[in-house]
Structure formats: structure tokens, C-alpha cells
Amino acid sequence: MSNMSSILLGRFPGLESDVPAAGGVADALEVGQVVDEDGAQLDGENLVENDLIEAEEESEVVDEGNDEADELVETAEALESYLAVARSAGKQGGWTTQEAAAHELGLNIVMGRIGANASFVMPSLESFGSSRERINATTSVENRITDTLKKIWEAIKRAVNKVIAFVRKWYLKIADGASRLKKRAEAIRSKAENTNGSAKEKKIRIPLAQLHVGKKAPKASQLVSSMKSVEQVIIDVTKGQMSKGYEKTMDAMVKALEKSVEAGKMTKGSENKIVEGETKYAALSDQFTADSKVLSKFPGASEDLNSGYAVKEVLPGGKRLVACDFNSGTTGKELAQASRSAYKIALIDADGSKVEVDSSTEVEVLAPQEVVGIANGVIDLAQAVIDYRGGFENYDKQTKDTLKRVDKVASGSTKGDNDDENERLADIRALATATGNLLRNHGTSTTTVINYGLNLGRNALVYGNSSLNQYA
């Protein structure tokens, strides 16, 4: 049988080597650029735009690691089902040749997701001949699936580590961008406060595709309101990671798993500790409201296991922030399934598909005082991102430590001596996977919201500054 680890590395090349460590967050935030009267940097190498583009590239790697983990988790869930079937059959004389052939078809599909085939977990069909051979061959399937699950967990762990590492690289870059964006907004605010007279032109062109609401330019008050909403989401997404209690929260999650291993059975409340381990995005101030329709945007989510939420307003660019949460009472394997998208925030097209906007459309010139309001909104939004640096170091450390501890638990959960033991180990593997899911979902949610927020602020400033340029 070929080496499964090699197959996994070939299928997911991003897992092949560890991501290089990044430098300290605090040191990376020493930004010393000069801006002109329009708030634009004079040194062309240190532009807000460059930072946002580079941060977007890092967040694409985060998404890539997240997608890899999703594919691996799906494969593991399917293999757990086949493992249970094989164990049951082993106690009843094993699979017949016909039964083995039927399961081989399904296993080919499952293993194909990771670039392998059924031969990695199935002996030849000829092995299921006599009664004794059937028992031995079915036991071999159990052992091979168990071994494959261990290797898939290793790959899941590396995928989650990849997400964590690149969230760090993303934040180092996005924090630079936030600092520069704030300085640009302060310069434009000062310019607006010193602008008088009448505008020479009443209409201008702006990046309408990024700012439109219903194909129309939003009013200044709407832009400010939207930025305030996104700012609050940023604060709420990151505050749990910044709090001094974050370490205790992570510790409680892992101890729930460890106690289950020590007790030899699932301890009461283990699942709830996992659920309580992350800030519930559904409770994000008043920005989100229940909306079950958005569950279709999240892989593995269902109304039985999850709740959907969405921001109340359509945001500039024709976007809407949506969130997924756990329903109360999910346990064991259901928790693992629900966790694939739980505590995750996504940015979607408000109308279900991208709206084409005429970029040549001219819009009303803003008054100087309206530009002051927009600049203040951008300053506050950027500050929320900058403030996150205080907690990011703690979040980064605790996330890595938690994953190491979870890995120790999961790595020991292989094969038991009886049905109850095997069921317990399957539950522990499921909860370990759920913990990994939550860690990466929190990371991808943070990148999604902050990327959108800073790009919104940048485009709002373009609108404001273009308006100011029309005044004498």
C-alpha cells in the first residue's frame, strides 16, 4: 500500500512545509510615512493600497488552508461512518465478497476526495472468501481506516496551523494598512475642515461598484452608518481574543476533552465547554438578526444543527455580512458537523449574485462637513483594527497552544477494546475536529470582516477627497 502521508502532501501541497514564523506585531506597526494635503502617501512604497492588496493575498492563503481542512474533515467524517459499519460487520462474521464490493465503490468516492482510492483501506476482494478470511479482511479494513484517520488528522492539524500562521502574516500587513489609512483620514479631515466656498462641479465619478447600495451612491450618512456597523462587528469579533479570559476559555475547551479521556467516557458538559469556548457571533450587539436563509452559504450547516444570522442593512458594494452559530443541545458527532461553519462570518452579495454597476455614473459632490463625518468614521474603524494588536499576540499564542493540546488528545484516540470504548474515541476525535474547526473559523471571520471594513474606509475616503477637490 502506498504511503498515505505522501498522497496527502501531494493532494495538499500547502501542507508540505511549515509556514515561516512572522515577526512581532508591535514592531511591525511603526509606520512613518508622509502624506500630502490630500492624505496620499508621498513615499510610493508604503501605500495603504499596497498593504490592503498584500493583506488580501495573505487572506487568500488563509482561505486556501480553510478549504483544505474542510475537504479533509469531510473525508474523515465519511470514513468514521465506514469504520462503524466495518466494526459492526466484524462481529457478525465479516463482509461477504458482494458486500465488500459494494463498500469498495463508496470508499473509492470517499478516498478520491484526497487523491487516493479504496485500496488504501480495503484488501483485495478475494480476501473476503471463506468465513475466516472475511473476519480477517474486515478487521484489516478497521485497522486501515483507523490508521488513515490518524494521518488525516495530522493533515487537518497542519491545515489549521496554516490558517493560524497566515492569519498572523495577514494581521501584520493589515495593521500597517490600518495605521496608514487612519493617517490618510486625519489628513483629509483637516483638509475638509479648512475647505470653504462652493463646488465648481456638482457631479463627480467615484469607485461606485465598491460603494453602491442598490446601484446608487450612498448618502454620506449611510456611509458613516455602515462603517459604524462594521466597526462594531470588528470590535465584537476580536474582543473575545483580546480579553484576559481568553486563555481560561481555551483551557476549558481542552480540559473537557482531557477529562473525557481520563474518565473513559464522555463527561457531562464536554460538548457545552466546546460550544462556550468561542464568542457567539449571533450575539454581536445589534448588528445581526436571525435569518435562516443564509445557512445555505455555509458548508455543512443545517437548521437542525445551526442558526443563521445577517446584518440588518445592505452594506456598500451591495454586500451583507452573514454569520452561522450552533443550535443549543448539539453533542458529539453532531457538534463536529455543526462546527464546520459555526462562529463563522462570511461576506456575500446581498442580492444573491454580483450586481453590475455602471462605473461611468456621476454622483453628487459631498459637502465638506459630510467629508469630515466620513473621515471620522474611517478613523474610528481603523482604530478598531489597530486596537486589536494588543490582544493578537495573546490570541496567536493561545490558539497555537490549544491546537497542540488538542492534537495530543486526538492522537491517542485510535482503537478501543470494545464498542463503548470505540464510540467514546470516535466522539473524542469528533470534538477534537470541532475545536480545530472553531479555531480556523474564528481566524477566517476576522480576516473577512477587517478586509472588507478597511477597503470600505479607503473607498469612502476616495469619494470624500474627490468631492473636496471640487472646491476652490
Q: Is residue 296 part of a domain?
A: yes
**Residue 38 above 60 pLDDT?**
no
| Tens of pLDDT, residues 321-346 | 999 888 765 566 777 888 888 888 99
Res. 102 pLDDT band, cuts 50 70 90: very high
Res. 222 pLDDT band, cuts 50 70 90: very high
| Cβ proximity of 345 and 230 under 8 Å | no
SS3 labels along the chain: CCCHHHHHHHHCHHHCCCCCCCCCHHHHCCCCCCECCCCCECCCCCCHHHHHHHHHHHHHHHHHHHHHHHHHHHHHHHHHHHHHHHHHHHCCCCCCHHHHHHHHHHHHHHHHCCCCCHHHCCCCHHHHCCHHHHHHHHHHHHHHHHHHHHHHHHHHHHHHHHHHHHHHHHHHHHHHHHHHHHHHHHHHHHHHHCCCCCECCCEECCCHHHHCECCECCCHHHHHHHHHHHHHHHHHHHHHHHCCCHHHHHHHHHHHHHHHHHHCCCCCCHHHHHHHCCCCHHHCCCCEEECHHHHHHCCCCCCCCEEEEEECCCECCCEEEEEEEECCCCCHHHHHHHCCCCCEEEEEECCCCCCCCCCCCCEECCCHHHHHHHHHHHHHHHHHHHHCHHHHHHHHHHHHHHHHHHHHHHHCCCCCCCHHHHHHHHHHHHHHHHHHHHHHHHHHHHHHHHHHHHHHHHHHHHHHHHHHCCEC
Q: Is residue 363 part of a domain?
A: yes
Mean pLDDT value across the chain: 81
Res. 351 pLDDT band, cuts 50 70 90: confident
Q: Which residue has the cell 481603523?
A: 382
Stretch among 65-69, 76-80, 118-122, 430-434 having the lowest mean pLDDT: 430-434
Q: Give me the mean pLDDT over the 234-246 stretch.
A: 67
- Residue 337 domain boundaries: 4-15+44-468
Q: Is residue 25 part of a domain?
A: no
Res. 414 pLDDT band, cuts 50 70 90: low
Q: Give me the mean pLDDT over the 111-137 stretch.
A: 91
Alpha-carbon torsion (30, 50, 39, 213), positive or negative? negative
Burial group, residue 139, by CB count within 10 angstroms (0-12, 13-18, 19+): middle
Q: Is residue 280 part of a domain?
A: yes
In terms of average pLDDT, the best of 18-32, 105-119, 389-403 is: 105-119
Q: Give me the mean pLDDT over the 197-210 stretch.
A: 90
Stretch among 115-119, 333-337, 370-374 having the lowest mean pLDDT: 333-337
| Tens of pLDDT, residues 420-455 | 777 777 777 887 888 888 888 888 888 899 999 999
| Number of domains the chain contains | 1
Q: Is residue 22 part of a domain?
A: no
Stretch among 63-72, 108-117, 207-216 having the lowest mean pLDDT: 63-72
Q: Is residue 431 part of a domain?
A: yes
Q: Give me the mean pLDDT over the 242-270 stretch.
A: 63
Q: Is residue 118 part of a domain?
A: yes
Q: Is residue 24 part of a domain?
A: no
Q: Give me the mean pLDDT over the 269-292 stretch.
A: 63
Check residue 472 and give its pLDDT: 67
Q: Global pTM?
A: 0.84
**Residue 243 above 80 pLDDT?**
no
Q: Give me the mean pLDDT over the 29-46 stretch.
A: 45
Res. 19 pLDDT band, cuts 50 70 90: very low
Check residue 264 and give its pLDDT: 57
Res. 247 pLDDT band, cuts 50 70 90: low
Res. 465 pLDDT band, cuts 50 70 90: very high
Check residue 23 and give its pLDDT: 42
Share of the chain above pLDDT 90, in %: 36
